[in-house]
Every structure is written in C-alpha cells, then in structure tokens.
A and B are shown apart, each in its own frame.
Chain A
Amino acid sequence: MIEKISNVNQNVSSLGQGSQKKSEVDFASILKDALDKVNQVQKSAEQASADFALGKISNIHEVIIEAEKATIALRLTNEVRNRIVQAYQEIMRMQL
C-alpha cells in the first residue's frame, strides 16, 4: 500500500530533479518532499503574475501557463491526499 502511494509521489517529486527514491526512505519525508515541490510550483506561478504586473514579462500566456501548472499540481496533491485518507479510514473501520 505504502509502496503504491510512494509511486504516485515519485511522479510528483520528479518535477524537479530525477532523484530515484528507494523504498526504504520513510513515507513522511517523501510526502514532505512532494509537498515542497508543489509549493515551489505555486510560488513560481505567484512570481510570474507579480513579474507580469511589474512589466518584466510581456507574454500573457507565460503567466497563465504557470497558473495552470500550479492548479494541476495542487489537484494532484489533493487527489493523492484523498486516496491516503480513504485508505486510512478503511483500515480504521476494520473489525478487531
């Protein structure tokens, strides 16, 4: 289960460098890594719109594309989070 989740997270973490995570790395750090990457994308979208307001970028599509990337990354994160919570609740409902 955890291994499957970390596979999904590797997709997120391959945004920046292609560092191969071994499965012995604990889940929390992988999750933190992935969230950091998503945060980076959000920040660069914010930076792009600030640069556009300051007149540093003349191409509107660059701003929009950065915003789209941020949206997609956030949706993926949210989707992964939902699956994890679902799995957790499934385990918690188990009869002992």
Chain B
Amino acid sequence: MNEFLTLNVSASGMTAQRLRIDVISSNIANSESTRTEQGTPYRRRVPIFSEYLMGMGRVKSSGVKVTRIEEDPSPFRLVYDPTHPDANEDGYVSMPNVNVLREMVDLISAQRSYDANVAAFNVTKAMISSALQIGRG
C-alpha cells in the first residue's frame, strides 16, 4: 500500500538519524581518548548516508540508509602536556580530531531531522485518517 510505503520512508529517515546520534554520542564520549585498539588516538567517526529505493511496481520512493561509518582523516589535535603518559619527546600529546562544539551542532541538526521525519509521518497518518472519513457525514 502506498501510504505504508511513505510511512516506511519516514521510518528509514528516523532510523538513520537515530544512528547518527549514536555516532555523535560516541564522538563526544571519546573526545579525550588518546588510546584505541589500533594504538592511535580516537578518530572522529562520520556516518555516510545513501539513498535507496523502496517499494515495488510502478511506485518507488527514496528511503535513506547508512551504508557505512567512516573515519575523519583530518589530523589529530596536538596539545602541549609533558605530564601526560602519552606525550611524545617534545611534550606534545595527540588528542582525537573531535571538536566537541561541532559535535553539539551536529547533534542539534540530527535531532531536528528526526523531528522532521516524525512530522512527515504524522502528516501521512493524518491524510490516511481523513481518507477514511470520506463519505461519512
């Protein structure tokens, strides 16, 4: 049913934004992690969104899905702190390339996108409800 197809598209948007919030949360949580399993400081992670077609037959709608989560290749922040155990010979520590301010802005954007998907869902639902009212009154 086409109405359900639209609902599924909104649902895919919500799932994607939810995952984005998860990734941002782990970026914020690890903004000070100087050690990871690879031995380097934590690298900021970015979810990659891609379009995918939903539905069969003539009607196709574009949903969204997260194809992969990639690492931000930008250089690490160097902080001068000779007392840190991970400091190099010159006393500099490589900190993760996470900018907490930017992550907060991304968080707001993800939340607003989630809300937008919920709004689209509600509009579709309201349309179905009024379609069921046809011929009643």
Residue of A nearest to B118 (CB): A61
Residue of B nearest to A83 (CB): B135
Using an 8 Å CB-CB cutoff, how does the interface string of B1-32 with A read, 1 for contact, 0 for none? 10110010011001100100000000000000
- Interface pair B57/A62, CB less than 8 Å apart: no
**Closest CB of chain A to B66's CB: distance in Å?**
13
Q: How many A-B contacts if CB must be within 8 Å?
A: 36
In the complex, whether B42 has a CB less than 8 A from a CB of chain A is: no
- Interface pair A72/B15, CB less than 8 Å apart: no
Chain A, interface size category, equals: 10 to 19
Residue of B nearest to A37 (CB): B1
In the complex, whether A47 has a CB less than 8 A from a CB of chain B is: no
- Interface pair A72/B14, CB less than 8 Å apart: no
In the complex, whether A59 has a CB less than 8 A from a CB of chain B is: yes
- Interface pair A14/B125, CB less than 8 Å apart: no
In the complex, whether A24 has a CB less than 8 A from a CB of chain B is: no
- Interface pair A59/B14, CB less than 8 Å apart: yes
Task: Indicate whether A18 sits within 8 Å of B57 (C-beta atoms), given known contacts A61-B14, A61-B15, A68-B125.
Answer: yes
> What count of chain B residues pass the 8 Å CB interface test?
18
**Closest CB of chain A to B111's CB: distance in Å?**
13
In the complex, whether A90 has a CB less than 8 A from a CB of chain B is: no
7 examples of A-B residue contacts, CB within 8 angstroms: A11-B1, A61-B14, A62-B11, A65-B10, A69-B4, A72-B3, A75-B132
- B residues lining the A interface (CB < 8 Å): 1, 3-4, 7, 10-11, 14-15, 18, 56-57, 118, 121, 125, 128-129, 132, 135
- A residues lining the B interface (CB < 8 Å): 11-12, 14-15, 18, 59, 61-62, 65, 68-69, 72, 75-76, 79, 83
Query: Other CB < 8 Å A-B pairs besides A12-B1, A72-B3, 17 of them?
Result: A11-B1, A15-B4, A18-B56, A59-B15, A61-B11, A61-B14, A61-B18, A61-B118, A62-B11, A65-B10, A65-B121, A68-B121, A68-B125, A69-B7, A72-B4, A72-B128, A75-B129
